Amino acid sequence: MNFTVTTSSVHEIESDLEIVFVVDENIDHPFVKEKKILKQYGFNATQEEICFLPEHGKLYVGAASLKSEALRPAAAAAMRTLLGKKGYKRIKVALYLSHPRCTASLRAMCEGLLLGAYSFDKYKSKKSKSPVKEIVVSLEGYESHEIGHEAALRAIHKAEIVADATNFARNIVNTPPDDFYPETMAKKAKKLAKKLGLECTVLDAKALKKEKMRAMLAVGRASRHEPKLVHLAYKPKNPKATVALVGKGLTYDSGGLSLKPGDFMVTMKADKSGSAAVIGIMKAVAELGLDIEVHGFMGMVENMIGGDAYKPDDVLKAKNGKTIEVRNTDAEGRLVLADVLCYAQQEVKADYLIDFATLTGACVVGVGQYTSGVMGFDETLKSEMKRHAKIAGELVTPLDFNDHLKKTLKSTIADISNISNTRYGGAITAGLFLSEFIDDDHRDKWLHVDIAGPAFVEHAWGENPAGASGAGVRMTVRMLESVAGAKTH
């Protein structure tokens, strides 16, 4: 899908369809030409409400405001309406800006158009691709706000990169486990590295054993697919900061010998969403050319059952020497992350260390399926992630650590247990477990992001389709743009 920017007014542009956003239920705005028909159809222009008038060449969409968080999902809703339809190759749309000379709303709108056009139909006989090949953006504004041609092109270019990276991550998560396993991610990372000029290192089981990553190895030892640790590195000259990203990459999680109930195993292909977010972020950072050094570490494992499966009551030794009593083999992601976090800190002295994981159902219970929980020791860092998430259209809420919950992870036979002795506060206790594998140098530079809720939802919501959302990509790219000092609007 290509974007074109023109100074021509909207009515001068030839197209198959015009998308018109009706903002703040203002159906009397001059851009709204079919007022009478819209009223007859009962169109109230509420957020993401659609009125498709193909005979008039118009698709009307309600948006609560001109702000990014309203325009992005409204644009996605418009594009979802066109999925599977024919005859709408060229779309036109006006300029919608919330503030003078600020392109944030334009970027958000274009992200929404691209995110809404996404479909995962690889395994379907009948495809439902978007028919849209070109979107023409007129610099004629819904309001009197204006921007230059070059500024518009820059905003759209960033939108294309970030949306493409998000869809890249979505594809990885949506791919079934029999077609996506640790070696698959290793191959995908090598291919991306070759294309974008990144460094790529892959550690196999022998190398993991040499690195004393026994916790990660234990989780994967009952699978026919060997665990892999994938390390991608983007290294520009004279970077302003160094960032390490760590992703949980359970290509499938049966729960191990602490077997999940059957209905809980469905969608467990999504347990690789943390690693998908990391590789998606790496892709976007490289294509944006950000002036920061970024390393992506992905712990790729499959948690299965078998004669060689690790067991409840086992005691594992992590890379940093700490011993872990296994009380539940379904609390496996934190074991993988423990080793990968240690390895990442060994390899990179970072200014920011961020891990992403579909870690706990408790996070979904606590904050809902649309919101990620963010944890760490630095309040400013947590606030920064939340701020950038809001701009990017993702939902994040901070979850605070406390010493009372930390005590619930005590073990009588090892340094720590892999689950707490209480059913409450499970998202936080999982974060506290990970904190035991963060060294003193990185303690105030570390964020843990539990994306268990939004990573995979079985119905469309906002700018996200049913299935994988690419959670974590957009908000982290926004944050890294800020770290790099890149202008985002």
> To which H or E segment does residue 450 belong?
strand 446-450
Amino acid letter, 222: A
User: What does DSSP say about strands 134-141 and 2-6: parallel, antiparallel, or unpaired?
Assistant: parallel
Positions of E strands within 270-342? 293-303, 315-317, 323-325
Helix (H) or strand (E) holding 22: strand 17-23
Distance CA 289, CA 481 (A): 10
Cβ atoms < 10 Å from Cβ of 165: 25
**Burial class of residue 86 in the structure, from the number of CB atoms within 10 Å of its CB (0-12 exposed, 13-18 middle, 19+ buried):** exposed
User: Which residue in 90, 154, 260, 406 is the catalytic one?
Assistant: 260
Q: How far apart are the C-alpha atoms of 336 and 214, rounded to whole Å?
A: 9
Q: How far apart are CA 157 and CA 160, in angstroms?
A: 5
- Phi and psi at residue 207, to the nearest 5°: -70, -35
Residue 415 DSSP class:
S
What is the Cα–Cα distance from 368 to 353, expressed in whole angstroms?
Answer: 25
Encode burial over 253-286: b for 16+ CB neighbours within 10 A, e otherwise.
Answer: bbbbbbeeeeeeeebbbbbbbbbbbbbbbbbbbb
Quick one: CA dihedral 76, 383, 292, 351, positive or negative? negative
Instruction: Return d(Cα 437, Cα 419) in angstroms, integer.
Output: 15
Spot the catalytic one: 248, 272, 319, 334. 334
b/e sequence 71-84, b meaning 16+ C-beta within 10 Å: bbbbbbbbbbbbbe
Two tokens, residue 338: 């423990």
Burial label, 415 (beta-carbon count in 10 A; 0-12, 13-18, 19+) = middle
* Residue 260 bears catalytic tag: yes
Query: Exposed/middle/buried for 412, CB within 10 Å: 0-12, 13-18, 19+?
Result: exposed
| Closest among 263, 272, 341, 342 to 303, alpha carbons compared | 272
322 is catalytic: no
Structure tokens at 248: 């949980």
Active site residues: 260, 334
